[in-house]
Amino acid sequence: MNPKHIVIIGAGPAGLMAADILSAAGVRVDIYEANRSVGRKFLIAGKGGMNITHSEPAQDFIGNYDKPDWLKPMVDQFDANKIIVWMKNLGIDSFIGTSGRVFPTDMKAAPLLRKWLSTLKLQGVKVHCGHTWSGFSDTGKLRFTTKNEELHVACDGTLLALGGASYPHLGSNGQWVSLLADKGIEISPLLPSNCGFNVSWSSHMAHYFGQPLKNIHAWVSGGGRKEGEILLSSYGIEGGLAYTHSRALREELIKTGNAMLYVDLMPHISQNHLISRLTPSGKQTLSNTWRKAGLDHIKGSLIRESLSKEKWNDASSVATYVKNYPLKITGMQPIEGAISSAGGVKRDALDRNLMLHALPNVFCAGEMLDWDAPTGGYLLTGCFASGVYAARGILQMLNFRSL
């Protein structure tokens, strides 16, 4: 008897993880990937250090997703501890950084991907690169276009793991949206997430482009304070704190056209203590007074950027701006340069196993689902976990014993 045959479209972390689960259960798996190689965005994500998940308590972890009640059953099946064990079984040790983030010991994605692909090959998974999914044939087969031909592929079930629309040159180009929308599937618009934001700097700030604002706190109105850093750029800001607040900033921009990010430039000193430091003594220049108070050149320039000149010698006004600096956000950077994208296939379009109501035996996983999360290991965990969850839904469809 021939084993059941599942086609996975997309060779990113969600698709590869689903292939791992399915092939280990004895399912015949073929992966079709539009690029000439697999895991390209996965590799880019690990370029600066492979932050694969986060070690914080489960309740805190799941709270980082915009739809925690939807993601929780998925993450529960493949949480940070299970990811660490999975890597260990592949021969990849890990460590927990001071921030609680989890990294492979060598900080690299490529060795992990190589060992993972080797395991998948041993489990019989076949990968077909250079195959772009172009929808369904009149008979319901999957259509793929290659450099030389169009193929029609029949299977017992399909998993779509096509990513969002960030970094389209790596494969996540969002072209699947129209293919599914034509089938009546509800999709939230794909929007940039974990992206840079626009700020209208004056010319005197140009000297500081490319420099970080370190050891600061930032928040949006009604939200919690987060500690980290922001990188100033010619268009505005980017970096960890910008990404952490990207969801709230994006929603406010969509609603009003502008948004405000508040920054505490010196979070480890009280406002009253700062006022006493900023009060001039003797014949000190303003620059010396600010410097001795702890305002370096970049932070001092930010004060000059926003606070009217007649208030520069007013210690109380300066301290207020230092502790509650209003950074006006005027727009988002394009989705093509974002780390991830929000939006995607809506929850109501899927059953509890991530199968599309409108397309029986077609499942979805990964970033193409309508969920959002900040960087810090949450994105990859969400992709891994939804891949596992969808794979187990496919096994249930095929009447396999759930692993």
What's the pLDDT tens digit per position in 290-339?
Answer: 999 999 999 999 999 999 999 999 999 999 999 999 999 999 999 999 99
* 403 falls within a domain: no
Please name the residues in contact with 335: beta carbons below 8 A apart, sequence gap of 6 or more: 165, 166, 190, 191, 192, 195, 341
Unique residue bearing structure tokens 């930032």: 218
Alpha-carbon distance of 163 to 161, in angstroms, equals 6
157 and 277 share one domain: no
Structure tokens given for 44 = 């880019």
Q: How confident is the model at residue 402 (pLDDT cuts 50, 70, 90)?
A: very low
Final residue belonging to a domain, choices 287, 302, 332: 332
What backbone phi and psi angles, to 5 degrees, belong to 35? -75, 170
Q: How confident is the model at residue 1 (pLDDT cuts 50, 70, 90)?
A: low
Alpha-carbon distance of 126 to 278, in angstroms, equals 67
State the total domains in the chain. Answer: 2
* 337 falls within a domain: no
Strand order in the sheet with 362-364: 126-129, 28-33, 5-9, 157-160, 362-364
138 and 208 share one domain: no
Residues 332-384 have pLDDT tens digits of 999 999 999 999 999 999 999 999 999 999 999 999 999 999 999 999 999 99
Strand, helix or coil for residue 252: helix
Q: In the Cβ-directed half-sphere of 142, how many Cα atoms lie within 13 Å?
A: 24
325 and 353 share one domain: no
Pair 343, 370: CB distance under 8 Å: yes
Alpha-carbon distance of 385 to 220, in angstroms, equals 29
CA 343, distance to chain mean position in Å, is 12
pLDDT at residue 284 in the model: 83
Instruction: Please name the helix (run of DSSP H) or strand (run of DSSP E) that holds residue 384, with its range, or none.
Output: helix 378-397
104 and 135 share one domain: yes
Q: In the Cβ-directed half-sphere of 330, how many Cα atoms lie within 13 Å?
A: 6
54 and 171 share one domain: yes
* pLDDT at residue 401 is higher than 70: no
**Domain harbouring 35, CATH code:** 3.50.50.60
Mean residue pLDDT across the chain: 94
Residues 172-229 have pLDDT tens digits of 999 999 999 999 999 999 999 999 999 999 998 999 999 999 999 999 998 889 999 9
114 and 230 share one domain: no
* 104 falls within a domain: yes
Range of the structural domain that residue 167 is part of: 5-192+343-397
93 and 169 share one domain: yes
133 and 108 share one domain: yes
100 and 229 share one domain: no
Pair 225, 264: CB distance under 8 Å: yes
pLDDT at residue 49 in the model: 83
Final residue belonging to a domain, choices 290, 310, 332: 332
The residue-averaged pLDDT of 239-260 equals 95
pTM value is 0.92
> Looking at this protein, which amino acid is placed at residue 108?
K
What are the DSSP E strand ranges found in 240-378? 259-264, 325-329, 331-332, 340-345, 362-364
User: Is beta strand 53-54 parallel, antiparallel or unpaired with respect to 325-329?
Assistant: unpaired
Fill in the DSSP letter of residue 205: G
183 and 226 share one domain: no
Instruction: Please name the helix (run of DSSP H) or strand (run of DSSP E) that holds residue 68, with its range, or none.
Output: helix 68-77
Unique residue bearing structure tokens 């010698």: 313
* 246 falls within a domain: yes
* 338 falls within a domain: no
* pLDDT at residue 403 is higher than 50: no
* 402 falls within a domain: no
Structure tokens given for 209 = 């482009």
Pair 385, 75: CB distance under 8 Å: yes
* 38 falls within a domain: yes
